[in-house]
């Protein structure tokens, strides 16, 4: 079984709904060499929502069963991934009060994409934290700079 590391980051850890960037790096070792792919997004949402969006997008890059190490500073998402996700899926993404959980559609995406994977959660900053932070800031500046001179960026450039 391949070992894959998924490194996640968000531009802000504020829990309130806000404009924020999120990004991921998926890394594995092949023939003794690290291979990576990455992705970024921009949303108006919560910290946990941004983490879930990045995680779902990163998991979507996997094309086989793997031992997946998820690295993020988002303790809540890691905790729910390990303790509640299976229960929520079995209860149609409703909480104990019978109400829909927040970000149910993202949790469902993560649930579907983690089936067949061995998941290991690792909380905290990681080897790609600084690079992801720098890249998110660069993308934010690029959008701001182009918008201020009347240029709208294409979706694939964001």
Q: pLDDT tens for residues 7-65?
A: 999 998 888 899 999 999 999 999 999 999 999 999 999 999 999 999 999 999 999 99
Average pLDDT over residues 78-97: 95
Question: In terms of residues, how long is the chain?
Answer: 158
CATH of the domain at 17: 3.30.420.10
Task: Tell me the pLDDT tens digit for each residue of 121-134.
Answer: 999 999 999 999 99
Burial class, 18, CB count within 10 angstroms (exposed 0-12 / middle 13-18 / buried 19+): middle
The per-residue pLDDT of the chain, averaged, comes to: 92
At 131 the pLDDT is 96
Average pLDDT over residues 137-143: 87
Q: What's the structural domain count of the chain?
A: 1
At 158 the pLDDT is 47
Domain hosting 130: range is 2-157
Burial class, 45, CB count within 10 angstroms (exposed 0-12 / middle 13-18 / buried 19+): buried
Instruction: Indicate the pTM of the whole model.
Output: 0.88
């Amino acid at each position: 079984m391949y070992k894959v590391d998924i490194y996640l980051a968000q531009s802000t850890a504020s829990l309130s709904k806000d404009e924020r960037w999120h990004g991921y790096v998926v890394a594995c070792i092949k023939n003794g060499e690290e291979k990576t792919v990455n992705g970024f997004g921009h949303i108006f949402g919560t910290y946990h929502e941004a983490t879930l969006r990045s995680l779902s997008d990163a998991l979507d890059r996997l094309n086989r069963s793997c031992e997946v190490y998820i690295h993020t500073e988002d303790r809540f998402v890691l905790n729910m991934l390990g303790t509640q996700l299976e229960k929520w899926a079995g209860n149609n993404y409703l909480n104990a009060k019978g109400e829909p959980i927040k970000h149910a559609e993202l949790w469902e995406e993560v649930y579907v994409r983690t089936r067949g994977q061995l998941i290991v959660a690792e909380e905290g900053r990681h080897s790609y934290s600084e690079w992801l932070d720098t890249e998110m800031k660069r993308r934010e500046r690029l959008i701001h700079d182009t918008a201020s001179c009347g240029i709208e960026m294409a979706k694939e450039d964001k």
